[in-house]
Amino acid sequence: MDITEVQTALQRQGFDPGAIDGVWGRQTIAAVKEFQQQRGLEADGIVGPTTAAALAATGGAAAPVVRAAASTSGPLVWFEEALRLIGTKEQPGAGSNPELIHWAQQCNIDYQSDDIPWCGLFVSHCIAATLPEERLPSGPLLARSWRKFGSPCKPAVQGAVLVFWRGSPDASTGHVGFYRSEDQDAYHVLGGNQSDSVSTCRVAKSRLLEARWPFTAASLKGQVVTAQGQGALSHNEA
């Protein structure tokens, strides 16, 4: 069940998710919580297996149209938001991309210029915008701060937050992004500030410090995705 299907199912059962646009925003989250409350489910705004099954339950003409697999899983909403933002770029020269500054304002993060590395800001936005009950780590602009986010998960799976060292394992610098897929030598990381944009790059597996999973999405499970190792390894993501 993807986000559009969740929104469609909510609407057909009399709950208002806003526009059927595939974007996991506040109105959709509120509609999920209202649905959960009326069905006697935990009102956490997360479409895990139980909520997905309830949304997919048949009920005559008002039943949602969803795929057969919808009863067993829900969307990885933070990862879907990351995918949606592919191509977002920092502004070259003077000034900053106002979208990045807006992310910081929404997350209450002091961030004034996209000249400052923003991989942590990107991850913060994707988590905060879609999982409002999830706590961000202290100092989220620092990539290595994400080692204290959520709970550890191994092996890396789609949607997991991956934290890497940069420069050297003992340095304070690092990089953070989302696991998208992997090949024999590298993780394919969907992240911000990669070639000054939201994009996917190959990061050597030997650089991984930690993989983390959101506490509030414990009922959702990602999957390992293998892919061909095309393109050079990334060495400096800032």
Q: Residue 128: in which H helix or E strand, if any?
A: helix 119-130
Look up residue 79 and give its two tokens.
């990862």
**Higher pLDDT pick, 35 / 1:** 35
Amino acid, single-letter form, for residue 18: G
Whole-structure pTM value: 0.89
Predicted local distance difference test score (pLDDT) of residue 228: 82
- The ranges assigned to domains in the chain are 3-75, 81-217
In sign, the C-alpha dihedral spanning 200, 204, 205, 209 is negative
Architecture per CATH, domain 3-75, reads as Orthogonal Bundle (1.10)
**Higher pLDDT pick, 72 / 202:** 202
Q: Are 64 and 9 in contact (CB under 8 A)?
A: yes
Per-residue pLDDT band for 120 (boundaries 50, 70, 90) equals very high
Amino acid, single-letter form, for residue 80: E
Predicted local distance difference test score (pLDDT) of residue 238: 65
What is the C-alpha R_g of the chain? 18
User: pLDDT tens digits, residue range 226-238?
Assistant: 888 778 899 878 6
| Highest CATH level, class, for 81-217 | alpha beta
**Higher pLDDT pick, 72 / 212:** 212
Domains 3-75 and 81-217 share a fold: no
Per-residue pLDDT band for 65 (boundaries 50, 70, 90) equals very low
Per-residue pLDDT band for 73 (boundaries 50, 70, 90) equals low
Count how many residues are written for the chain: 238
236 SS3 class: coil
